[in-house]
């Protein structure tokens, strides 16, 4: 435990700053925070009695990235933003394995994207010239610009941080998929499972049930991995997907259906009250009807953090491993992975 609490910089979806602060405060204790609505990030420093360690990014729901920043520079001169940043880094004297220049995931951040790309090249060049870039160094540098004349400077061990700039995996929509919702399951499997877990738990020939499957965006991801899927929905399924021979379509109620024997996977993206979905998943896991589940919880407009915690506690009552994240491809929802007891 360090003597002082780290000043934390957390990236999040614009509009969910309050939930991000609620979550980090629940984890570390009371503290000082700044969270402007729509900013796409928050800062937080725990009070004297709070926990000091940097939270594991995998344990956070609403934060895409969690960094300890050591400098916040404002009023950067437009003609030379690099000089004050390099001055701070030179005085610190730490070498970095890489440097990422980032902006929030909001409209202002999107406008800064060309600047971030060009400034990133300039920063890498300056670090090399100052001999502060070393591929063997233990930490990666982050320069986060919420606006063009302000920057937060942070460093992090790559093993303990999200491995994508802005904490966002960039996925391309597959043209063969029946709907864009396919990206939610693709991202969920990438973010909530590690490489070894995907290899062990998503093997060809495994069985799955997709509740609320029509037209087949999530089923498509499972079929792509050669799983056999029972698609539950009163709506139609994509014809090409059905021609794969790996899908059985049943027009029945997703809340009433149960398989005759246990399946490996249950996935669910039904538009329903989150508590009802959490109860359904908890029952499947508790009954041993599935081994793994990945599902979405559509959050209400108010008390979203409280609702998420209540629903996750219900799932945890029958599961031994529960992980949740608000994904880039989510909106007013979170995606959850659960493994049966």
Q: Are 57 and 162 in contact (CB under 8 A)?
A: yes
Interhelix angle 304-316/17-28, rounded to 10 degrees, is: 50
Residue 1 has pLDDT above 50, yes or no: no
Domain residue ranges of the chain, discontinuous segments joined by +: 7-167, 182-340
CA angle in degrees (0–180, nearest 5) for 140-146-147: 125
Determine which one of 129, 260, 261, 298 is catalytic: 298
Task: Give the pLDDT confidence of 270-306 residue by residue, as tens digits.
Answer: 999 999 999 999 999 999 999 999 999 999 999 999 9
pLDDT of residue 311: 98
For residues 203 and 322, what is the distance between their CA atoms, to the nearest angstrom?
Answer: 21
Count of helix runs (H) and strand runs (E) in the chain: 10, 14
User: What sections of 5-112 are H helices per DSSP?
Assistant: 17-28, 82-92, 107-111
Smallest CA-to-CA distance from 40 within 192, 183, 147, 163 is with 147
If you average pLDDT over every residue of the chain, what do you get? 95
User: What is the distance between the alpha carbons of residues 288 and 218, in angstroms, rounded to a whole number?
Assistant: 22
Other CB atoms within a 10 A radius of the CB of residue 157 amount to 11
Give the pLDDT confidence score for residue 51 in this predicted structure.
64
Measured distance CA(304)–CA(317) in Å, rounded? 20
Whether the pLDDT of residue 147 is over 50: the answer is yes
Check: CATH 3.40.50.970 for 182-340? no
**Rg of the Cα atoms in the chain:** 22
Are 7-167 and 182-340 in the same CATH fold?
no
- 247-259 average pLDDT score: 97
- 117 flagged as catalytic: no
Mean pLDDT, residues 83-87 taken together: 97
In angstroms, the CA 57 to CA 69 distance is: 15
CB-based contacts of 42, cutoff 8 Å, min separation 6: 9, 10, 12, 17, 20, 21, 24, 33, 34, 35
Instruction: Identify the CA nearest to 31 among candidates 51, 18, 45.
Output: 45
Alpha-carbon gap, residue 62 to 13, rounded angstroms: 8
Do the bridges between strand 207-211 and strand 263-268 make them parallel or antiparallel, or are there none, so unpaired? Answer: parallel
**Stretch 170-187: mean pLDDT, rounded?**
96
pLDDT tens per residue, range 20-71: 999 999 999 888 999 999 999 999 998 876 666 788 888 999 999 999 999 9
Sign of CA dihedral 112, 117, 122, 126: positive
> Per the structure block, which two tokens stand in for 39?
């900013």
Q: Which of 167, 152, 162 is nearest to 68 (CA)?
A: 152
d(CA 26, CA 49): 13
Third-level CATH fold of 7-167 = VC0802-like (3.30.2130)
């Amino acid at each position: 435990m360090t003597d002082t609490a780290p000043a934390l910089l957390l990236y999040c979806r614009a509009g969910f700053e309050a939930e991000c602060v609620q979550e980090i405060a629940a984890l570390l204790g009371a503290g000082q925070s700044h969270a402007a609505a729509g900013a796409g990030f928050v800062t937080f420093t725990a009070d004297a009695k709070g926990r000091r360690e940097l939270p594991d990014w995998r344990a956070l729901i609403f934060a895409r990235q969690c960094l300890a920043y050591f400098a916040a520079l404002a009023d950067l001169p437009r003609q030379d933003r690099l000089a004050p940043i390099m001055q701070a880094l030179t005085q610190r004297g730490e070498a970095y394995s890489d440097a990422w220049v980032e902006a929030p995931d909001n409209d202002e951040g999107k406008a800064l994207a060309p600047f971030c790309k060009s400034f990133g090249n300039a920063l890498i060049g300056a670090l090399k010239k100052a001999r502060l870039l070393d591929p063997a160094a233990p930490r990666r540098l982050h320069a986060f610009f919420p606006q063009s004349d302000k920057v937060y400077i942070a460093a992090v061990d790559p093993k303990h941080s999200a491995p994508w700039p802005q904490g966002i995996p960039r996925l391309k929509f597959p043209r063969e998929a029946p709907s864009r919702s396919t990206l939610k399951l693709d991202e969920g499997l990438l973010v909530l499972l590690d490489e070894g877990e995907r290899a062990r738990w998503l093997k060809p020939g495994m069985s799955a049930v997709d509740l609320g499957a029509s037209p087949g965006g999530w089923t498509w991801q499972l079929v792509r991995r050669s799983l056999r899927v029972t698609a539950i929905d009163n709506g139609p399924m994509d014809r090409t997907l059905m021609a794969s021979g790996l899908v059985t379509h049943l027009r029945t109620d997703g809340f009433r259906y149960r398989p005759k024997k246990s399946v490996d996977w249950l996935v669910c993206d039904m538009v329903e009250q989150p508590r009802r979905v959490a109860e359904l998943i908890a029952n499947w896991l508790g009954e041993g009807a599935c081994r793994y589940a990945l599902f979405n919880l559509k959050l209400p407009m108010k008390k979203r953090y409280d609702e998420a915690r209540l629903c996750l506690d219900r799932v945890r009552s029958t599961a031994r491993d529960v992980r949740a994240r608000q994904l880039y491809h989510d909106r007013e929802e979170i995606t959850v992975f659960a493994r049966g007891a």
